[in-house]
Structure 1
């Protein structure tokens, strides 16, 4: 089971992911708003998700949750690189092609956070 604070942190992270995703699909894309949204997502991740400790969940679910948190950290680093590539795009075709991996990563991150919350509901295995 996850602590209430950890559940709230993951829910806040999910909201930041969804907000960033909404900014990505805006036409025309607002580069400044997109950058601000990404910075907010990154800050939420660093303060909320990285702040989750072993004491925030029960031992039966510790290993799978730690695995998801590790993968979430990896995907966030990769998302940051993808976002830098997106910002460097000068042609609209290149920009649109670079949106695809970002949206895929966002979907992956959302599924990880959903799975963490589901594991957090388990009281004992």
Structure 2
């Protein structure tokens, strides 16, 4: 892919990373209130929409071979993040909620590392 073509793709990954970072910042306190979980749900929807409408629509046929693999891994982490969010919404015990928020944080950090890898930055 030509450099100018890649430069037009950079903002897509930068936005995805930024949304992941915003959601990560909200995760730790979210389990404490239903409103916090609702805010996480909104952030997740934005993250998922960005991935589906911007990242998955990129023409990866001329990209480095690792990038389509990273897209697959990103999609997997988003599916698992959605499941964690559903389980968090139904968690009754504080320990269960804590475990879910920790798991969500790990997944979000992994998504950010994937974005960094695509952007060619060091995590």
TM over 0.5: yes
TM range (shorter): 0.7 to 0.9
Partner of 1:102: 104
What is the rounded CA distance, in whole Å, between the counterparts of 2:58 and 2:83 in structure 1?
24
Deviations 1:13-64 (A, max 9, x none): 0111011111112374512212211111111111111122125x54xx2x11
Offset, 1:90: 1.6
Return the offset for 1:106.
0.8
SS of the residue 2:120 aligns to: helix
Give 1:73's aligned residue: 75
- In the aligned structure 2, how far is the partner of 1:76 from the partner of 1:109? 8
Structure 2, unaligned stretches of length 5 or more? none
Aligned counterpart, 1:52: 58
TM alignment of 1:14-33, pairs within 5 A: 14-26=17-29, 28-29=32-33, 30-33=36-39
How many residues get paired? 115
Q: Where does residue 48 of structure 2 map in the other structure?
A: 42
> Could you list the runs of 5+ residues in structure 1 that have no partner in the other structure?
120-125
Q: TM-score, normalised by structure 1?
A: 0.81
Distance (Å, rounded) in 2 between the aligned partners of 1:81 and 1:34? 13
Q: What is the CA RMSD across the aligned residues, in angstroms? A: 1.9
- Say whether the 8 Å CA contact 1:13–1:48 is kept in structure 2: no
1:14/1:110 contact within 8 Å kept: yes
Would you identify which runs of 4 or more consecutive aligned residues in structure 1 move more than 6 Å? none
